[in-house]
Structure 1
Amino acid sequence: MEVKFGITDIAREVTIETSSAPEEIAEQIRRAVVESSIVDLTDDKGRRIMIPATKIGYVDLGASATRAVGFGTV
């Protein structure tokens, strides 16, 4: 699934692809915001992304984007 973070004072959003469940990510973000801690996620490539909850402007939990291969119609 694709997760987009809008960070305050930064014009560009942070986007990651992860195989975690949307409910799991939403709960981790909620907890971090309440505790004013850090959101700590790992993407599909094994990279670790850490974002201070106090700097999060918005979060967009989107569906997994499947990429079409070839020139056929879908």
Structure 2
Amino acid sequence: MQEDIAALTGERPGPGTLYGAIRRLEEQRLIEQMPEQDRRKPYRLTDLGARALQAELVRIRTVASTGLRRLATA
């Protein structure tokens, strides 16, 4: 997960940051842990998490579209 985040953001999160985020996402029931696989602890989005992600991606797209439109007319 740290490598995926680093590839997307250019920075690798520290373990405290990552595990804190995972804990908060679990508390909000946005993700849930799956059975361990070779000492790895995989997670999956819950239905609630998928809906929250969808809403956030729509929000980000709206912000980006507005920004790009305004830049084009500047």
Q: TM over 0.5, yes or no?
A: no
Give the strand-richer structure, 1 or 2: 1
Give the helix-richer structure, 1 or 2: 2
- Answer with 1 or 2: which has the greater Rg: 2
